[in-house]
Amino acid sequence: MKHVRMGAAVFLAAIVLAAITPRFWVTASYDAQFRETPDASPSRQFPLGTDALGRDRLSRLFYGTRVSLLLAPAAAALSCAVAAALGGIAGMAGGWMDRAIVAAADLFLSLPWLFLLLMVRAGLPLNVSPAASVTITFLLLGALGWAAPARVVRAAVRELKDSDFLLQARASGCRRSRLLWRHLLPNVAPILWAQFWIAVPVYILAETTLGMLGLGVAEPLPSWGGLLRELEDGAALSHLWLLAPVLLLAAVVGSFQLILPREDYSL
């Protein structure tokens, strides 16, 4: 299993490297149109063909991978940061503060988050630039995904709060900030790290779903969700090269799941 994990990590590293250096692999930009060859089949010039607007699919796949693979971890980091702050406060403070944060987390967890995401997305400006739309999409994902990790962090902090080493540190006159940074955070960090790895594939899939519904990253900026919209007309079964983003998505999300420790899948 260790070898499989290692293989998945190497594969992910290779994909990330390729995604952040698209100019090494493709010559055309993601929005460059070759008007004389729309809907072209794979060729030497366009290994995955071109889309209906004559844009190179391979180039769009590289740039789309960059968007999804760089921003999903950023969104996961944001939700983990919010979870660390709120879960830490709830665990340390206790009392009404703890109850209020737990109630808010319960509320967030009881709402199917695609509904919540649709509701918040519907309230945002219409005329945003592609860059702003991608930022908004992933910021929303990060901001709405704090509840589950916050509960885990809260449980860990509550356990640590009564531990002997923290009691001794407190008895030695350790300042609250030092308690947090030197004693509490290093012990909570592995939990946050695990939550981060759980969240990344979830956010990649959430962005893909939003993009396929037309509520994700705006054109002409590519993302996996936007690229997969091409399958809408059912042409994938006759044009198998259209399935390239599907294979890449499955391989990447699968690799993230393989990297996770097995126990993280249990209830």
Partner 1 sequence: MKRLVSQFVRMALLVLAAGLIGAFLAGYSPGALVDERELDHRLSEDSLSALRAAKGESANASANFARYVRGLAHGDLGYSQSNNAPVEGLIRDRAPETLRELAIGLAGSWLLGLGCAIPVGRWRRAWIYDGALSLTAGLLLCLPAALIAYLCLAAGSKSAVVLVIVLTPKIFRFSRTLVVAAYGASHVTMARARGIAESRILCTHILRSAAPQLLALAATSVSMAMGAAIPIETICDVPGLGRLAWQAAMARDVPLLLNLTMLVALVTITASAIAEAVTPAETTAGRKGGSQ
Residues lying near partner 1 in the complex (CB under 8 A) are found at 103, 106-107, 110-116, 118-126, 155, 158, 201, 205-206, 208-209, 212-215, 228, 231-232, 234, 236-237, 246, 249-251, 253-254, 257, 265-267
CA atoms within 13 A on the CB side of 210: 29
Please tell me the distance from the alpha carbon of residue 191 to that of residue 35, in angstroms, as a whole number: 51
- CA dist list (Å): 74 to 23, 67, 69, 204, 207: 23, 11, 9, 11, 13
Please tell me the distance from the alpha carbon of residue 176 to that of residue 187, in angstroms, as a whole number: 16
Comparing CB distances to partner 1, the nearer of 254 and 261 is: 254
Find the shortest distance in angstroms from Cβ 94 to partner 1: 12
Question: What does DSSP assign to residue 180?
Answer: I
Find the shortest distance in angstroms from Cβ 155 to partner 1: 6
Residues 208 and 224: beta-carbon distance below 8 Å: yes
Find the shortest distance in angstroms from Cβ 25 to partner 1: 24
Comparing CB distances to partner 1, the nearer of 82 and 242 is: 242
Nearest to 52 by CA among 248, 229, 247: 229
Please tell me the distance from the alpha carbon of residue 180 to that of residue 176, in angstroms, as a whole number: 6
Comparing CB distances to partner 1, the nearer of 78 and 212 is: 212
Find the shortest distance in angstroms from Cβ 175 to partner 1: 28
Find the shortest distance in angstroms from Cβ 76 to partner 1: 17
Find the shortest distance in angstroms from Cβ 261 to partner 1: 13
Comparing CB distances to partner 1, the nearer of 36 and 263 is: 263
Type of residue at 36: E
Comparing CB distances to partner 1, the nearer of 123 and 173 is: 123
The length of the chain, given as a count of residues: 267
DSSP run (H or E) holding 187: helix 185-212
Comparing CB distances to partner 1, the nearer of 143 and 250 is: 250
